[in-house]
Amino acid sequence: MRGLMGSFAAFPLTDLVTHLSQKQATGMLTCERGTVRKTVHLRNGRAVGAASNDPREYLGQLLVNFGHITEDQLAKAFKTQEETKIFLGKVLTMVGVVTSDVIRDVLAIKIRETLLDVFLWDSGVFSLDDVAPPVIDELDAVIPLSDILREAEFRATAWNAFRGEFPTGAAALEVEEAKVPPALRPETVDGRMVALAREGKTIDEIGLSLHATDFQLYQRLYALARQGVLRASLAPAAPVPTAASASSELMDRARQMLAAGRASDAELVAERAVELAPTSDSARALLAEAERALLEQLRLELLAPPRTPRLVVETDGIARLRVGAADKYLLSRCDGRRDLSALARLAPMPELEVLKAMKRLAGAHLVELE
């Protein structure tokens, strides 16, 4: 199994996971598409650990999403983790915030979600490296690959139904007030979804507000749609695809921008090059280089010393702003208590995207950075 690699266009993930399960594979499976990178540690055909650069799949975010901890508890745990270098799950159990069973259950969800999301990819690359998996302790979860395959088959059917009701995440939702259950509590996931839909939030905005993975989000939306509570508004037309032949030219431009110290411009151009050629190793490497350069610049500018964003606009006016879902989410978290470092740790998005957004919002005079 050493050195196994390829693209999902030639070797679909279903076939790959079936192969790894039958061969009782051990090692580290890495899946990449564009800037998204996921790794799953395998031992004898079982998944024993997972990592992802998608913040929605972080352990802390999942614990918040499922209501096991609050954002403030997560922020305190992050601080303790930085000081002690102890695994986040152990920090939370040591201070008595959650039990070992909760950590184990959520880690099992994390492993499943990390790999199950890749089954939706229509492109990307994979590799299996001969790396020893981590030693299993009392908090870790172990998931047979055969179980994940069965779940993937179920989800494929479910996604067909979800997309039939909600073709795009850019759509807003309409609430049929007469169908809303009288006993629906506002603190529940369904209750929060209905409340956000009433505010005119799009599906993507609701997902950010709830810190939800795509499947968790659409599963609950579909259940509410079947009850007649929610329905999608008319979705906008899909954008016309661009030919991938321009990717090489864009990469040349991005390299020139990097050399000139224009990391922000280089990142935008390199990102477009990856969109046009998602399986290009050179395009992805160039984008990663541009992102590292930009992140270093923004950290020096915004995090040294730490700065606290203060909302300039009225809170109830955020929903009417002509900004994206991520910007609206970040604006809603600018409560004058969290500095940018804390906000970047808690937001369900990469640190680079948080810092880019906060600089943009400050430039638009929507927030002040104190």
3-state secondary structure 19-70: HHHHCCCCEEEEEEECCEEEEEEEECCEEEEEEECCHHHCHHHHHHHCCCCC
Sign, CA dihedral 320-322-325-326, equals: negative
**Model confidence at 316: pLDDT above 50:** yes
**Model confidence at 236: pLDDT above 70:** no
**Model confidence at 319: pLDDT above 50:** yes
Rounded to an integer, what is the distance from CA 141 to the centroid of its chain?
A: 21
The mean pLDDT value of the chain amounts to 85
Q: Provide the pLDDT for residue 246.
A: 67
- Residues 329 and 207: their CA atoms lie apart, in Å, by 10
Strands 173-175 and 230-232: what pairing? antiparallel
Residue pLDDT, tens place only, 63-79:
887 888 888 888 888 88
144 forms bridges with which residues in the sheet? 46
Structure confidence at residue 367 as a pLDDT band (50, 70, 90): confident
- Residues 9 and 278: their CA atoms lie apart, in Å, by 11
Q: Evaluate the omega torsion of the peptide bond into residue 305 and state whether it is cis, within 30 degrees of 0.
A: yes
Q: Could you give phi then psi for residue 36, rounded to 5 degrees?
A: -85, 130
DSSP-assigned letters across all residues of 147-189: HHHHHHHHHHHHHHHHHHH---TT-BEEE-GGGS-TT--TTSH
Q: Provide the pLDDT for residue 242.
A: 43
Structure confidence at residue 234 as a pLDDT band (50, 70, 90): low
**Model confidence at 272: pLDDT above 50:** yes
* Mean pLDDT within 152-174: 90
Q: What is the dihedral of CA 36, 42, 47, 50, to 10 degrees?
A: -30
- Asked if residues 172 and 233 have their Cβ atoms less than 8 Å apart, the reply is yes
Structure confidence at residue 152 as a pLDDT band (50, 70, 90): very high
**Model confidence at 301: pLDDT above 80:** yes
Rounded to an integer, what is the distance from CA 342 to the centroid of its chain?
A: 18
**Model confidence at 341: pLDDT above 70:** yes
Residue 55's Cβ-side half-sphere holds a number of Cα atoms within 13 Å equal to 18
Structure confidence at residue 243 as a pLDDT band (50, 70, 90): very low
- Residues 276 and 257: their CA atoms lie apart, in Å, by 19
Length of the chain: 370
- Residues 41 and 131: their CA atoms lie apart, in Å, by 8
Tokens of 203: 């599906």
* Mean pLDDT within 137-143: 79
**Model confidence at 199: pLDDT above 50:** yes
Q: Could you give phi then psi for residue 143, rounded to 5 degrees?
A: -125, 115
Q: What is the dihedral of CA 139, 150, 220, 230, to 10 degrees?
A: 170
Placement of tokens 């990856």 in the chain: 274
- Residues 245 and 276: their CA atoms lie apart, in Å, by 8
Q: Provide the pLDDT for residue 77.
A: 87
